Amino acid sequence: MKNHAELLSGFLDMAEAMLMAGAEVSRVEDTITRMGLAYGASNMNVFVITSCIIITMEIPEGEDLTQTRRVLMAGGTDFLKLEKFNDLSRRCCAGQVEAAALSEEVRQIAALSPRRWRMYLGSVLAAGGFAVFFGGTIIDGLVAALFALLICALQEKLLPLSMNQMSFNLLCSVIVGVLTGICTNFLTFLHLDKIMIGYIMLLIPGMAMTNAVRNILGGNTISGVMRLIEAVLWAAALALGFMIAMFITGGGLHH
């Protein structure tokens, strides 16, 4: 009996870590259900939304076990971790992982942290690339890439100190927006709108919005609606921040 409770808390650890690595709600539900059946449950009831996990395990000749876990922190997408969790669940289903060792394996994967240079280089490439993609000049791209470095630094230092993603987006967009405004006021050959679109790609919850709509269409209505509202609020915070930046630096947001 104790064994099953331990196993169940291992499942919760795994589900939580998957969510924090950016896994889709339906993927988490699928994975945990499959693993539970592989470890001998007669039926698995897994309900996951982005902020909460509920698992009930039906054990043959035993009581049903239910545990829940509140997920407070949303994490960024980390595909390396997702691949490792995928591999772990495969090994579990093939019976290669002892139930007692599951929590430890999950902990090891969750503790991996992505290299810092990847985030910086990736942001520089993405902001620079998209500034040119949306019609900016090469110089606009380079300036957007510079501001991407600043955004990375803010994400590293300011995000942990912020109340939530919304307040971070507000602060970040005011700071970066004002600096960009000053920059383009002096260097008039730069295109404010293209530079901003370039680095806004790093901040806008475009992927979150798209996933939200997919969740809703796919039947995970609660997760979808939660995410959609979150994403709209994040975007609104960004818009508000850039509006404030515009009032401070004067002039329109694009020339």
Partner 1 sequence: MVSITEGIIHLVTAGIGALGFSLIFNVRKELLPAAAFGGFLDWGVYMMAEWFFGGGVFLPSVVAAAFASLYAEAMARVEKTPATVFYIPALIPLIPGGSLYYTMSYAVMGQWDLVQSYGASTAYCALGIAVGMSLVLSVEYTFHKLTAQKR
CB of 91 to partner 1, least distance (A): 14
CB of 248 to partner 1, least distance (A): 13
CB of 229 to partner 1, least distance (A): 14
Instruction: Give 8 or 145: the residue with its C-beta nearer to partner 1.
Output: 145
Integer CA distances (angstroms), 119 to 125, 150, 156, 227, in order: 10, 12, 10, 24
CB of 161 to partner 1, least distance (A): 21
Q: Match 């939580």 to its residue by tokens.
A: 16
Q: Match 């949303």 to its residue by tokens.
A: 74
**Do the Cβ atoms of 59 and 6 come closer than 8 Å?**
no
**Could you give the 3-state DSSP secondary structure of residue 194?**
helix
Query: What residues line the site for partner 1 (CB under 8 A)?
Result: 22, 24, 27, 76-83, 86, 114, 118-119, 121-130, 132-135, 193, 196-197, 200-202, 204, 206-207, 209-210, 213-214, 217-218, 235, 238-239, 242-243, 246, 252-254
Instruction: Give 117 or 189: the residue with its C-beta nearer to partner 1.
Output: 117
User: Pairing between strand 43-49 and 52-58?
Assistant: antiparallel
80: left (phi over 0), alpha (psi -120 to 50) or beta: alpha
Instruction: Give 71 or 195: the residue with its C-beta nearer to partner 1.
Output: 195
Reference 46, options 5, 15, 71; nearest CA is: 15
Instruction: Give 107 or 118: the residue with its C-beta nearer to partner 1.
Output: 118
